[in-house]
Chain A
Amino acid sequence: QKEVEQNSGPLSVPEGAIASLNCTYSDRGSQSFFWYRQYSGKSPELIMFIYSNGDKEDGRFTAQLNKASQYVSLLIRDSQPSDSATYLCAVANAGNNRKLIWGLGTSLAVNP
């Protein structure tokens, strides 16, 4: 059974701090990794994707990938209360990359 695991949280950080969200996956053949944000009562929206080992930065967000350790993370710098949401890690299924394997999400609370 291919799995994606995330700490459910809640992860609580003060405003302005760095929030670090982590995800591990079991399918060693996976090549594509995605972070979605889901506000309460809303649908998921894609915020970052990463395909290569290392870091990828987009504004206040940095995705980090380590395929050898089967680990992907999302860093949010200068966290804002508007970042409070559930963050879903998704990994493309190596056997059928149309299908994503989803983690259960980490709830992030940014406190003013």
Chain B
Amino acid sequence: DVKVTQSSRYLVKRTGEKVFLECVQDMDHENMFWYRQDPGLGLRLIYFSYDVKMKEKGDIPEGYSVSREKKERFSLILESASTNQTSMYLCASGLTSGDTGELFFGEGSRLTVL
């Protein structure tokens, strides 16, 4: 079975803390994505990666960075968490060729920044 695993389902952090969200996929997919989902705003792409050590900014990269040192792992980093980063964070992976829109999502990480 296809699996995308996010390390933490629920996190509570304080303003200014550094936050790491980890995502691992077992499908040998080239593409990996970080989205955040907020009521009324839908899914918004933060960053994506199409290869190891490669990354591209999505629509809302400000305040975030990413790391992809291995093909199966894609990390999202909040250098200094702020309250407006309270959200549901979704990791997804997908193929480069063929059905590039077929994404597999992790269960999500709900982050609350106090």
B-binding residues in A (CB < 8 A): 32-34, 42-46, 49, 88, 90, 92, 97-100, 102-105
Pairwise interchain contact B40-A104, C-beta atoms closer than 8 A: yes
* Size class of the contact patch on chain B: 20 to 34
Complex Cα distance A49/B42, Å?
20
Alpha-carbon distance between A33 and B90 when the two chains are bound, in angstroms: 20
* A104 and B105 within 8 A (CB): no
**Contact of B40 with A98 in the complex, beta carbons under 8 Å:** no
In the complex, number of A-B residue pairs with CB atoms less than 8 Å apart: 50
Which chain B positions have C-beta within 8 A of A34? 101-102
Q: Which interface residue of B43, B48, B50, B99 has the most chain A CB atoms within 10 A?
A: B43
| Alpha-carbon distance A90/B35, docked complex (angstroms) | 14
Identify 23 residue pairs between A and B in the complex whose beta-carbon atoms are under 8 Å apart, listed by A's number: A32-B100, A32-B101, A43-B106, A44-B103, A44-B105, A45-B105, A46-B101, A46-B103, A49-B99, A88-B43, A90-B101, A92-B100, A98-B31, A98-B48, A98-B50, A98-B94, A98-B96, A99-B45, A100-B45, A102-B43, A103-B42, A104-B40, A105-B42
Is B58 an interface position by the 8 A CB rule?
yes
Q: What sequence of 0s and 1s flags, for each residue 75-111 of chain B, a beta carbon within 8 Å of any chain A beta carbon?
A: 0000000000000001000101001111111111000
A-B pairs, 10 with minimum CB distance: A43-B105, A104-B42, A102-B43, A34-B101, A92-B101, A32-B101, A97-B100, A46-B102, A102-B42, A44-B105
